[in-house]
Chain A
Amino acid sequence: MSNEQLEREKFKAPDQVISNEIREKLVKLVEMITLFIIMIYVGFPLLWLIISSITPPEHLFDYPPTIIPAAVSMENYVELLVTTAFSTYFLNSVIVGIGATVMTTILATMGGYGLARTDFKGQRNIARSVLFAYMFPPILLTIPMYTVFYNAGLLNSYLALMFAHVAISLPFTIWLMWQYYQTIPEAFEQSAQIAGASKAKAFRDVILPMSLPGIMAVAIFTFAITWNDFTFAIVIMTDSSMHTLPVGISTIIEQQWVPWGMITAAGVLILAPCFALVAFLQRYIIQGFSVSV
Chain B
Amino acid sequence: MTLNKKKISRRRTIKSAGASSVALTLAGCLGNGTDDVQEVTLLTAETDPRTQNVFDAVAEDFEEETGNEANYEYVGFEELADRISAGVRADDPPEMVIWNVGQMAALQEDGLLMPVGDLVDDVDVEIPDDTVFEWEDSVYSIPWCRKIYHMIIRGDLLEEAGYTPPDPASEEALNVDWSTFQEWVSAIDEETDAAGTAIAASQTSKGEVDAINWLWTNAVRIFRGTTPDEEVSIDTGEDRERAIEVLEYLDDIYEYSVPGADIAWAESTDAYASGSAGSVIYSIGRIFAALEGTNPEWMDHTIPLAVPWEQHRDDGITNRQTVSQFGVFEDSENPDAAKEWLTTLYNSHHYIDLIHSVPFHNTPLTEELAQSDEYLDHELLQEYPQIAEFYANFLEMGTSAMLAGDDGGVSRRLAQSELPSHLGKLLEDTLVGGDDPGDAIDTAAENLRDI
Chain A residues packing against B (C-beta within 8 Å): 57-58, 60-61, 63, 83-85, 88, 142-144, 146-147, 150-151, 153, 155-157, 234-235, 238-242, 250-251, 253-261
Does B79 touch A at the CB level, under 8 Å?
yes
Complex CA gap A238/B4 in Å reads 24
Does B24 touch A at the CB level, under 8 Å?
yes
Complex CA gap A164/B20 in Å reads 21
Which chain B residues border A143 with CB–CB below 8 Å? 82, 85-86, 89
The bracket for how many chain B residues form the interface is 35 or more
Q: Which residue of B lies closest to A60 (CB)?
A: B294
Which chain A residues border B57 with CB–CB below 8 Å? none
Complex CA gap A240/B9 in Å reads 12
**Chain B 317-343 near chain A by CB (<8 Å), digits 1 or 0:** 000000000000000000000000000
Known: A58-B295, A61-B294, A251-B74. A241 touches B16 (CB 8 A): yes
Shortest beta-carbon distance from A251 to chain B in Å:
6
Complex CA gap A242/B193 in Å reads 44
Does B350 touch A at the CB level, under 8 Å?
no
Which chain A residues border B45 with CB–CB below 8 Å? 255
Where chain B touches its partner, the secondary structure class is helix
Known: A143-B85, A239-B17, A240-B16. A256 touches B269 (CB 8 A): yes
Complex CA gap A243/B10 in Å reads 13
**Chain B 123-160 near chain A by CB (<8 Å), digits 1 or 0:** 00000000000000000000000000000000000000
Known: A156-B20, A234-B82. A146 touches B90 (CB 8 A): yes
Which chain A residues border B90 with CB–CB below 8 Å? 146-147, 150-151
Does B87 touch A at the CB level, under 8 Å?
yes
CB pair A257 B290 closer than 8 Å = yes
CB pair B82 A58 closer than 8 Å = no
CB pair A255 B85 closer than 8 Å = no
Known: A150-B92, A234-B75, A255-B265. A241 touches B86 (CB 8 A): no
In the A-B complex, list the 8 residue pairs whose CB atoms are closest, starting with the nearest.
A146-B86, A241-B17, A150-B90, A83-B6, A257-B269, A61-B274, A147-B90, A257-B290
- Contacting residue for A251 out of B41, B47, B193, B275, CB 8 A: B47
Known: A63-B193, A150-B92. A256 touches B13 (CB 8 A): no
Q: Which residue of B lies closest to A143 (CB)?
A: B86
**Restricting to B353-369, which residues have a CB under 8 Å from any CB of A?**
none
Complex CA gap A156/B79 in Å reads 17
Does B293 touch A at the CB level, under 8 Å?
yes
Known: A63-B275, A85-B8. A238 touches B47 (CB 8 A): no
* 4 additional contacts (CB under 8 A) given A63-B274, A150-B87, A260-B270: A238-B73, A240-B73, A250-B76, A257-B289
Complex CA gap A61/B74 in Å reads 28
CB pair A142 B293 closer than 8 Å = no
CB pair A153 B83 closer than 8 Å = no
Q: Which of A238, A259, A260 has the most CB of B within 10 A?
A: A238
**Chain B 77-105 near chain A by CB (<8 Å), digits 1 or 0:** 10100110111011110000000000000
Which chain B residues border A254 with CB–CB below 8 Å? 47-48, 266
Does B1 touch A at the CB level, under 8 Å?
no
CB pair A256 B16 closer than 8 Å = no
Q: List 11 A-B contacts (CB under 8 A).
A: A58-B295, A60-B294, A83-B7, A144-B89, A153-B24, A157-B24, A235-B82, A253-B266, A255-B47, A255-B265, A256-B266
Chain B residues packing against A (C-beta within 8 Å): 4-8, 10, 13-14, 16-17, 20-21, 24, 27-28, 41, 45, 47-49, 71-77, 79, 82-83, 85-87, 89-92, 193, 265-266, 269-270, 273-275, 286, 289-290, 293-295
Complex CA gap A257/B273 in Å reads 9
- Contacting residue for B275 out of A61, A146, A147, A157, CB 8 A: A61
Complex CA gap A146/B48 in Å reads 27
- Contacting residue for B10 out of A88, A142, A258, A261, CB 8 A: A88
CB pair B92 A85 closer than 8 Å = no
- Contacting residue for A142 out of B16, B86, B270, B290, CB 8 A: B86
Known: A85-B10, A88-B13, A250-B76. A234 touches B83 (CB 8 A): yes
Complex CA gap A142/B10 in Å reads 29
CB pair A257 B266 closer than 8 Å = yes
CB pair A146 B266 closer than 8 Å = no
Which chain A residues border B21 with CB–CB below 8 Å? 156
Which chain B residues border A151 with CB–CB below 8 Å? 90
Q: Which residue of B lies closest to A150 (CB)?
A: B90
Shortest beta-carbon distance from A293 to chain B in Å:
36
Complex CA gap A238/B72 in Å reads 9
- Contacting residue for A256 out of B71, B83, B265, B294, CB 8 A: B265
Which chain A residues border B47 with CB–CB below 8 Å? 251, 254-255
Q: Which residue of A lies closest to B290 (CB)?
A: A257
Q: Which residue of A lies closest to B41 (CB)?
A: A238
CB pair B76 A156 closer than 8 Å = no
Which chain A residues border B76 with CB–CB below 8 Å? 250-251, 255
CB pair A156 B265 closer than 8 Å = no
Which chain B residues border A63 with CB–CB below 8 Å? 193, 274-275
Complex CA gap A259/B4 in Å reads 10
CB pair B74 A240 closer than 8 Å = yes
CB pair B8 A84 closer than 8 Å = yes
Shortest beta-carbon distance from B171 to chain A in Å:
30
Which chain A residues border B75 with CB–CB below 8 Å? 234, 238
Complex CA gap A275/B8 in Å reads 29
Which chain A residues border B274 with CB–CB below 8 Å? 61, 63
